[in-house]
Amino acid sequence: MPEDPEDLTGIEEDGPSRRDFFSRVGLAACAVAAAGSGIVTLDFLKPKVLFEPPTRFRAGSPLDYPEGVVRFNKEQRAYVIGAPGGVYALSAVCTHLGCITRFLSDEKCIACPCHGSRFDLEGNVIHGPAPRPLQWLEMQVDATGTLLVDTSVTIPHGRIFKA
């Protein structure tokens, strides 16, 4: 073990010197401080309370939706569609880049103006750059029998709500 040139006492020591030890502790403390600052800053930047409108909305009575009827709720960006035996809700947000789609009643399909994606009435992609089908949204009835749609909750494709 070579003698530590800083060691003036002439005593050979095993392992790091006191100076090395304190240097490492100091550097570790700086690293912890830097990491802590970074984490705290990042957490600061993430908003915890958002003033965004509520995602649940009332969609009328199930009797308003005979088969083939499509109602578009613009504020909530959702279609409520009548199907044989029930009702279901589709997100109107195109899965490509988030533009809001439109329902073309003469062609019985949903089209996106941004890049030309087209979807059928079940949300499947007919044509265009959209990578995924439109999301199906959760549907419930409240105590008075009114349909309740929650646009922040998605359900498996094809699950029609039987009223």
Partner 1 sequence: MRDLSLGSLGSRLRETALYRSIVRHGIADTNRNRSLIIFENLFLHVHPVKVRKKTLRFSHTYWLGGITLACALVLNATGILLMFYYHPSVPQAYRDMKELAFVVENGMFLRNLHRWAAHLMVFAAFLHMLRVFYHRAYRPPRQFNWVVGVVLLLATLLLSYTGYLLPWDQLAFWGVSVGTNMAKEAPLIGEQVRFLLLGGHAVSENALLRFYVLHCVVLPVALLLLLSVHIWRVRKDGGVQGPPEEPEIPERGEVP
Partner 2 sequence: MNNLPPIHVVESADPLATPRRVALVRPDIRPAVRRREERWVMTFPHLIVREVILLQVVVIGLALAAIFFDAPLQGIANPLETPNPAKAPWYFLGLQELLHYFPPVVAGVLMPALVVIALVVIPYARVNLTAGPLWASHPGRTAAVVGAVTFFLAALFAAFACWPIVVPTVLVAAAIFAARGGESGGRLRRVLAGVTLPEWIMTWFVVVATILTVIGTFFRGPGWSLVWPWNAAVFG
For partner 2, the binding residues (CB under 8 A) are: 74-75, 77, 96-97, 99-100, 111-116, 129, 131
- Residue 102 beta carbon to partner 2: minimum distance, rounded to whole angstroms: 9
Q: Tokens 């965004």 correspond to what residue?
A: 52
C-beta of 114 vs 153, nearer to partner 1: 114
Which one of partner 1, partner 2, none is in contact with 157 (Cβ closer than 5 to 8 A by kind)? none
25 Cβ partners below 8 Å, 6+ apart?
Answer: none
- Residue 20 beta carbon to partner 1: minimum distance, rounded to whole angstroms: 32
- Residue 42 beta carbon to partner 1: minimum distance, rounded to whole angstroms: 8
C-beta of 9 vs 41, nearer to partner 1: 41
Which one of partner 1, partner 2, none is in contact with 113 (Cβ closer than 5 to 8 A by kind)? partner 2
Binding residues for partner 1, rule: CB under 8 A, are: 42, 45-47, 50, 52, 97-99, 114
Residue pair 75/87 in contact (Cβ under 8 Å)? The answer is: no
**In angstroms, rounded to a whole number, what is the distance separating the alpha carbons of residues 130 and 135?**
12
- Residue 131 beta carbon to partner 1: minimum distance, rounded to whole angstroms: 9
- Classified as helix, coil or strand, 142 is coil
Which one of partner 1, partner 2, none is in contact with 116 (Cβ closer than 5 to 8 A by kind)? partner 2
Q: In what order do the strands lie in the sheet with 125-127?
A: 102-104, 109-111, 118-119, 125-127
C-beta of 11 vs 42, nearer to partner 1: 42
- Choose among 97, 98, 107, 88: nearest CA to 147: 88
Report strand pairing: 56-58 vs 147-155. Answer: antiparallel
